[in-house]
């Protein structure tokens, strides 16, 4: 079985539907309210596990009801919780999510415990990183955890996927130890200074990011698909799948979790992108983040119906 290590965030999602996203100072009546497991790391770990990978998740929770529910969720999903720390001095992270009638969302994240993951806590999982097929990271945690994980994976020559979301500044030199980077348009702009408005701009942004040391740059473009660049003068738009979206929250996490799984099983980059597009497409047809992640048989059926696989 393919082995994926995810180091990153867990936050509980507190979500409500609303007719429109509130303006500053505005109170909007919404509903229904839903609570569930989330955070970019948690979502990506869930997605990879449901796709069929053996997943180890490194994060930190508070000693509270949200933390207890998190552990219950990951054990149900068959995610290895050995390196999920519980800190009685911290609250479990939380995300306040509003989703409007057009399925657009607005999110405020309070990282809580997962924003304090230390170098020592990451190093405890060294043997799992050493044995992994792929390591998956985001920026929704302490930068100390990100830097330590990249160095650890580099030490053991394990490929790294960095999803630089939500964007915050980090030591750019670690990009030399990153094999795949998956920014969206906003994050690509933050990294490159190039506003991604079309394929030409995506190529220019990808070139700049590639020059920082990343081997493969994948700029996700929502329903348009994702732009793939590995060097040279050209890149390629790998199209996504059109579905009727109910809730787009977590689509990027679905893509990254699916991508990590597919790469860990030996798929080519383009094959992995097509697979992860399907994971993302299926995820937006349901409400929620981690609970909306599709299972392997659902993804395979979706791709087979479209004639993508035999």
Q: Which helix (H) or strand (E) holds 260?
A: helix 251-264
In sequence order, the 6+-apart residues with CB closer than 8 A to the CB of 113 are: 60, 61, 62, 67, 85, 86, 87, 90, 91, 92, 93
| 180-181: strand order across its sheet | 84-87, 54-62, 3-7, 134-138, 160-163, 180-181, 216-220, 226-229, 236-238
Instruction: Compute the chain's Rg from CA coordinates.
Output: 18
CA 280 to chain centre: 11
> Exposed e or buried b for every residue in 182-193, given b needs 16+ CB within 10 A?
bbbbebbbebbe
DSSP one-letter code for 92 = P
Q: Which residues are annotated as a binding site for K(+)?
A: 247, 249, 283, 286, 288
- Other residues' Cβ atoms within 10 Å of the Cβ of residue 94: 20
Per-residue tokens: 112 = 């809580």
Residue 232: which of 212, 197, 203, 205 has the closest Cα? 203
Tokens 């596990």 map to which residue?
A: 49
In sequence order, the 6+-apart residues with CB closer than 8 A to the CB of 169 are: none
Q: Which segments within 63-118 are labelled E, that is strand?
A: 84-87, 93-99, 105-110
Residue 41: which of 137, 161, 173, 123 has the closest Cα? 137
Q: Which residues are annotated as a binding site?
A: 11-13, 39-43, 140, 184, 220-225, 247, 249, 252-253, 277, 283, 286, 288
Please tell me which residue in 64, 133, 179, 253 is annotated as part of the active site: 253
Quote the CA–CA distance of 233 and 219 in Å, as a whole number.
Answer: 16
Per-residue tokens: 102 = 């057009």
179 is catalytic: no
Active-site annotation, residues: 253
């Amino acid at each position: 079985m393919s082995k994926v290590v995810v180091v990153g965030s867990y936050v509980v999602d507190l979500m409500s539907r609303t007719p429109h996203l509130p303006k500053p100072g505005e109170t909007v009546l919404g509903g229904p309210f839903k609570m569930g497991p989330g955070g970019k790391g948690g979502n990506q770990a869930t997605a990879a596990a449901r796709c069929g990978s053996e997943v180890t998740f490194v994060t930190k929770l508070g000693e509270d009801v949200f933390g207890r529910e998190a552990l219950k969720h990951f054990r149900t999903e068959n995610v290895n919780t050995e390196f999920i720390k519980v800190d009685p001095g911290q609250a479990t992270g939380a995300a306040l999510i509003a989703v409007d009638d057009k399925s657009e969302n607005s999110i405020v994240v309070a990282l809580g415990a997962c924003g304090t993951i230390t170098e020592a806590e990451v190093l405890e999982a060294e043997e799992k990183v050493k044995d992994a097929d792929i390591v998956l990271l985001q920026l929704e945690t302490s930068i100390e955890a990100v830097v330590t994980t990249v160095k650890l994976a580099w030490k053991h020559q394990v490929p790294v996927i960095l999803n630089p979301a939500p964007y915050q500044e980090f030591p750019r030199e670690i990009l030399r130890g990153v094999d795949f980077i998956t920014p969206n348009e906003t994050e690509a702009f933050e990294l490159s200074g190039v506003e991604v408005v079309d394929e030409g701009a995506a190529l220019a942004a990808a070139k700049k990011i590639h020059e920082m040391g990343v081997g493969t740059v994948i700029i996700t473009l929502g329903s348009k698909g994702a732009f793939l660049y590995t060097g040279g003068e050209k890149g390629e738009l790998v199209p996504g799948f059109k579905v009727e979206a109910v809730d787009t929250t977590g689509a990027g996490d679905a893509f990254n979790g699916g991508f990590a799984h597919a790469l860990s099983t030996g798929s080519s980059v383009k094959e992995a992108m097509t697979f992860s597009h399907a994971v993302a497409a299926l995820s937006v047809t349901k409400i929620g983040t981690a609970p909306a992640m599709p299972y392997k048989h659902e993804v395979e059926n979706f791709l087979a119906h479209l004639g993508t696989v035999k």
